[in-house]
Structure 1
Amino acid sequence: MLKVFLKKWIFLFIIIIFDLIIALRTSIEFFHFFFWFLISVVTISLAWLTVEYFGTKLSLTRRSIATIEEGDILEIETVISNNGFLPIINFVLEDRLTFAISQEREKRFLLEYLGPRSTLNLKYRCLCLRRGRYEIGPFSIYLFDPWGLFFLKKTLFLYSELYVYPPTFNIPKFPQLVKGVAPWFGIGTSRVSGDEEEFYGITEYRRGDPYKKIHWFSTARKNILIVKQFQHQAFFRATIIFNLNKDKNFGEGKESVAEYTIKIAASVAKYFIERNVSLGLIAHIGEIVHIPFNKGAEHLEDIFRALTIAQAESRISLDELFQEFAPYIPNDSSLIVIMLDQDWEFLPAMLSLKARNISLVPLILIASSFLHPSEKQKIIKYPEMELPQGFDFAPIFFSCGDNLEQDFIK
């Protein structure tokens, strides 16, 4: 905006100076009149802008969802309210969309008129092309004089937080997980030693019920024998672990190891949560992220938010990450490892988890497929890797450009 008006100001200044010089050197009345006419126009324009700038009271409200998936279109509604006693004529509203591409980052609207004590609704949309956490805003309002010679900019520091989640894909099937014992939380929780029964509730005593299961507090209140009920509770627990090593982030942009890793992790997390699997996350993304086990939509949101801001900034190996967090992986559960084929050497160390009835599901990215043809001799799509002794599951391999959904069917 400033570049456009700077040319106008320079041109206007040159005209005024030349007209003044000619008026002083000649006695032609036209040049005197034209000089004072230009001065009057400039004075009126600046006075107009001053009154409009200080005499108007604008308030803006931006409405949009706080989370969206990469590749989706974000719809935004902005409500402009003129709470002042003066109308606003010919002004521009600009909203800074930090998540958009550079050419569409400043969304501008030319508005001809907004009366006093009135409101105006604007609806616009923009494509979210890259995951991340963004602050939409601020608003900028450009006020103009009637002749379009000058402008004043008013900034309203109104921000909206937006999380652009990584894209996900449908997983048709997933390897069988190991069942665990579900803890039952609440008052009066009890555990029968040596089995997988969990406290469920209370009911009236029936012949044959063991006396050790009598609920004495309820028996005293109801004056009849009440026993505790138990049920078998077997459920699934899974841990996703990955390491975004900076030196091994092959590829560029969306076709990089980090982006594929995050996309796979997000899709697997969504798959598990939708099937009521208790899920945990361990990752190194420049800093360690450890999200404890939980279920439900809110837990999935927490995982997605962590994946949204993840960057390939780790300086440690996958083995170092595993060794530090192996004690936190619960018995009778499953460990999903998203890794490069270059990290295959670390896999035997993870087999020690089998003694704790922890199944291992490796999801392996083929590093060579992310390299430029000039950087590699040959692309090995599914390399023949010797599986360690005791390893009873075939890994799932992914290459750059694959249909990831189909990779889970192979």
Structure 2
Amino acid sequence: AVQDDTTLPGHFSSHVVSNLGSRKSYSWRVTTICRQRGRYQLGPLRISTSDPFGLFPMERDLSATTNVVIYPLTFDIQQFALPIGLLPGGDALRRRTHYVTTNASGVRDYAPGDSFSRIHWRSSARRDRLVVKEFELDPLADIWIVPDMSVYEHVAPKEALERLRQQDNLPPWMQKDSFTLPGTTEEYTVSIAASLAQYFLRRDRAVGMLGYGQSNEVVQPDRGERQLNRILETLSVLSARGEVPLTDMLHAESHLFPRGTTLIVVTPTTRENWATAVRQLSRRGLRVVTVLVDPGSFGSSRSSIGLATLLEASGMAVYLVRNEDDITAVLSKSKTQAGYFTIA
């Protein structure tokens, strides 16, 4: 028998092998539907065998393990009303970059490792040595994704958690191939944050992430696929166990946001003091877009509708996401609809 002590939910790879002859091998395939984000351990294994009468049992532990990270579910957003018209691109950053951009800022001497495509041949011929072009980042302000992971704001109905546990305990042949987002505000918040990061990074914007959960996570702004993997890996283990309220977190980390920065805050809060905080951030030259995850649609007695109305009346961009909403459709509003929401 092979006993697998993997921590991945819904992973059933333990197996009983009978009548295996000497110097023979046996293999089997295991398919696991990954329904819960997080970091899990594959292994260790314990192999036990015996003679047909059970007189000489033997066990061997295979202690080798490896980790697997399950990223949060992301949605393909078609458009997001961010910077054109509603939010300006920001000031020129004047920051050197190793990326090749459309903004050439000057030349310097060739250094080992520089790509030949960066060589400026006219300057090299004139100076009689290799000279390469230097580039600056595009003059667009950074975007910060801020998921609110305060324990005081989130709602996790027992029915949703029990349904998730039941799915994980089903054998593979009884599990559905389709996957729906667990009905908790925490999972909706994380999934929306991951989807927005994916949207902007694939459009070559510099994106950072800030979240206070069981630990304080800060991912500095950067571009590219590696940055997306970095943010998704951080979000995969972030849980709603933060002790610091959203407004206090932004105040403590205000040094991260220079003037012109865009903040996209994903929160299930219903507190009207968030509207005051948004106005204060705007006066500092920050651009704030709020994505409200309505706890009232998850079984809570609290609702975000009043806060959404208040933000809209103040001229702030706000999106309202409810349980079982089509997140792609809600976040892909046209630019003329930005700052508005629809109550079904």
Q: What TM-score, normalized by structure 2, do the two folds share?
A: 0.72
Specify whether residues 367 and 222 from structure 1 end up closer, same or farther in structure 2 by C-alpha distance, changes over 3 A only.
Answer: same
Specify whether residues 384 and 100 from structure 1 end up closer, same or farther in structure 2 by C-alpha distance, changes over 3 A only.
Answer: closer
Structure 2 residue 14 is matched with structure 1 residue 107: yes
* 1:290-369 alignment, distance < 5 Å: 290-355=218-283, 357-369=285-297
Q: How far apart are residue 346 of structure 1 and its match?
A: 2.2
Distance across 1 between alignment mates of 2:5 and 2:142: 43
Distance across 2 between alignment mates of 1:273 and 1:386: 31
Which residue pairs with 1:71 in the alignment? none
The 8 Å contact of residues 245 and 316 in structure 1, kept in 2 or not, is answered as yes
Higher helix share: 1
The 8 Å contact of residues 70 and 236 in structure 2, kept in 1 or not, is answered as yes
Which residue pairs with 1:167 in the alignment? 73
Partner of residue 240 from structure 1, selected from 145, 151, 168: 145
Q: Which residue identity does 1:93 align to in structure 2? A: V
Specify whether residues 121 and 229 from structure 1 end up closer, same or farther in structure 2 by C-alpha distance, changes over 3 A only.
Answer: closer
Partner of residue 399 from structure 1, selected from 312, 322, 334: 322
Q: How far apart are residue 247 of structure 1 and its match?
A: 2.6
Q: How far apart are residue 318 of structure 1 and its match?
A: 0.6
The 8 Å contact of residues 93 and 108 in structure 1, kept in 2 or not, is answered as yes
CA RMSD of aligned residues (A): 3.5
Specify whether residues 396 and 251 from structure 1 end up closer, same or farther in structure 2 by C-alpha distance, changes over 3 A only.
Answer: same
Q: How far apart are residue 137 of structure 1 and its match?
A: 0.8
Gaps of 5+ in 2: 109-122, 162-181, 334-344
Which residue pairs with 2:186 in the alignment? 258
Specify whether residues 107 and 115 from structure 1 end up closer, same or farther in structure 2 by C-alpha distance, changes over 3 A only.
Answer: same
Q: How far apart are residue 150 of structure 1 and its match?
A: 5.6
Partner-residue secondary structure (3-state), 1:362: strand
Gaps of 5+ in 1: 1-91, 187-195, 203-216
Tell me the alpha carbon deviations over residues 1-57 of structure 1, each in whole angstroms, 9 at most, x when there is no partner: xxxxxxxxxxxxxxxxxxxxxxxxxxxxxxxxxxxxxxxxxxxxxxxxxxxxxxxxx
* 1:363-402 alignment, distance < 5 Å: 363-371=291-299, 376=301, 385-387=309-311, 391-402=314-325
Q: How far apart are residue 156 of structure 1 and its match?
A: 0.9
Distance across 2 between alignment mates of 1:315 and 1:248: 10
Q: What TM-score, normalized by structure 1, do the two folds share?
A: 0.62
Distance across 1 between alignment mates of 2:135 and 2:226: 29
Q: How far apart are residue 289 of structure 1 and its match?
A: 0.7
Tell me the alpha carbon deviations over residues 222-266 of structure 1, each in whole angstroms, 9 at most, x when there is no partner: 39xx99888893235200113212232212332222111111111
Which residue pairs with 1:19 in the alignment? none
Aligned pair count? Answer: 290
- The runs of at least 4 consecutive aligned structure 1 residues that moved more than 4 Å come to 118-121, 217-220, 226-232, 378-384
Q: How far apart are residue 120 of structure 1 and its match?
A: 5.1
The 8 Å contact of residues 4 and 44 in structure 2, kept in 1 or not, is answered as yes
The 8 Å contact of residues 239 and 334 in structure 1, kept in 2 or not, is answered as yes
Partner-residue secondary structure (3-state), 2:315: coil
Structure 2 residue 81 is matched with structure 1 residue 153: no
- Between 1 and 2, higher relative CO (CA 8 Å, sep ≥ 6) is seen in 2
Percent of aligned pairs with the same residue?
21
* 1:261-276 alignment, distance < 5 Å: 261-276=189-204
Distance across 2 between alignment mates of 1:256 and 1:161: 26
